[in-house]
Amino acid sequence: MEECSPFNDNTIMHDVNCIFCKIATGIIPAEKVYENDEVLAFLDNTPVNKGHTLVIPKSHTTNIFTITREDLSAVMEAVRILAPRVKAATNAGGVNVIMNNDAPAGQVVFHSHTHIIPRFENDGFRHWHGGTYGEGEMGAIGAMIRAQN
C-alpha cells in the first residue's frame, strides 16, 4: 500500500499524492452526489455517459485486494442506494456497476472505487468478448481457484 498519512481527519488514512484522497478531503473540488462518514460519490469528469458516478471509500486503499470488509460494505451500500438514482436522473435504460482492479484490468486511479455507468441503447460502450474453455480446462481452473487460500 502507498505511504499514507492522516490529513484533514485524524481517523481516516489518506495518500497525500492520491487524487481521490484530495477529492475526499476537499482539496480538489468535485461534483458530489452522495456522502456519509465512510464514502463519497461524485461524477466522473471523463464519463462513459453523462451521470457516470464514482463511489469511493474515504480511507485510502488501492483496490479490491486491499480494501477492508467495512469499506467495501459501505461502498456497495452506497452503490445500492445510488444506482437507481443515477438511472432515474439520466433516464437510462440500465446501469453497469464496475470495479477495475490493477492496471491490466483498466484501473487508472489507484484508490478503490466503483463505477456506476448509466447505459442507453446503442451508446457505443462495449462489453468484453466471450471466450470458451478447452476440454477439461473449466474443471482444472475451478479446482485451482478453490485451492487458493
Domain that holds residue 12: 5-147
Q: How far apart are CA 103 and CA 105, in angstroms?
A: 5
The catalytically annotated residue of 52, 60, 111, 113 is: 113
Does the pTM surpass 0.85? The reply is yes
Total count of domains within the chain: 1
Q: For 104-144, write each residue's pLDDT tens digit.
A: 999 999 999 999 999 999 999 888 889 999 999 999 999 99
Q: Is 14 a catalytic residue?
A: no
The CATH number linked to 30 is 3.30.428.10
Cell of 43: 461524477
Measure the CA angle with vertex 3, ends 53 and 41; round to 5°. Answer: 15
